[in-house]
Amino acid sequence: MDGGSGLNILYVDTLDAMRIPRSELHLVSSIFHGVILGTQAYPLRQIDLPDMFGDRANFCLEVLTFEVVDFLGSYHAILRHPCYAKFMAIPNYTYLKLKMLGPNDVITMDSTFLHAYTCDHEHYELATIVINSVELSELGNLLTPAVPQCNELT
């Protein structure tokens, strides 16, 4: 759940794990900002996937469009905030629950605090790697290698 995100993101590793062929993807011409710190991100392509919450007796099913990206993430996918409106879902970040009205009753999706902590820790490590690589690249551009002048008389 990411109530602040404006994109539905599906990581290419997840797409591969789902065994969805790349021929199912369609072109996208836009870039987005704010997903990778300090840089633009280019999605590979988009895909429309049916998403179901609930079980056989009580479920909601909608087709969502995902931006398929080829960079590391600590999640399988990220759902954007308009997705919650489409499902008429209410996220509760404190209790790690997502509730929505199903045809027979309320559908509740939940997680554990240990799982949330693990995801946050992985996300922190990924963010640290990205920030460090950006800073290292910037430092490399600022520094020029010192070449000793062999022809100078001392």
Per residue in 108-124, pLDDT tens?
Answer: 888 777 877 787 787 77
Does residue 108 fall inside a structural domain?
yes
CA distance 102 to 99: 9
- Give the contacts of 144 (CB within 8 A, at least 6 positions apart): none
15 inside domain:
yes
Q: Would residue 151 count as lying in a domain?
A: no
Residue 42 tokens, joined: 């280019």
> Is the confidence at residue 148, as pLDDT, over 70?
no
More confident residue, 70 or 152: 70
| In contact, 96 and 90? CB cutoff 8 Å | no
Q: How confident is the model at residue 101 (pLDDT cuts 50, 70, 90)?
A: confident
Whether 72 is covered by a domain: the verdict is yes
Q: From CA 127, how far away is CA 77, in angstroms rounded?
A: 17
Q: Report if residue 3 sits inside a domain.
A: no
The residue range of the domain holding 17 is 9-140
Check whether 52 has a pLDDT greater than 90: no
Q: Which residue has the higher pLDDT, 37 or 141?
A: 141
* Total structural domains within the chain: 1
- pLDDT tens column, 1-13: 555 567 788 888 8
> Cα separation of 7 and 78, whole Å?
8
**Taking a C-beta distance cutoff of 8 angstroms, is the pair 35, 7 a contact?**
yes
Give every CB contact of residue 125 below 8 A, 6+ residues apart in sequence.
none
Residues in CB range of 85: below 8 A, 6 or more apart: none
pLDDT on residue 150: 63
> Does any domain span residue 145?
no
User: What local confidence, expressed as pLDDT, does residue 115 receive?
Assistant: 75
Does residue 147 fall inside a structural domain?
no
The answer, as to whether pTM is greater than 0.75, is no
Given a cut of 80, whether residue 146 has pLDDT beyond it is no
Q: What is the pLDDT of residue 19?
A: 94
The pLDDT of residue 36: 57
Please state, in angstroms and rounded to a whole number, the distance separating the CA atoms of residues 123 and 111: 17
Output the pLDDT for position 83: 77
pLDDT of residue 53: 86
17 located within any domain: yes
Query: Which of helix, strand or coil describes residue 145?
Result: coil
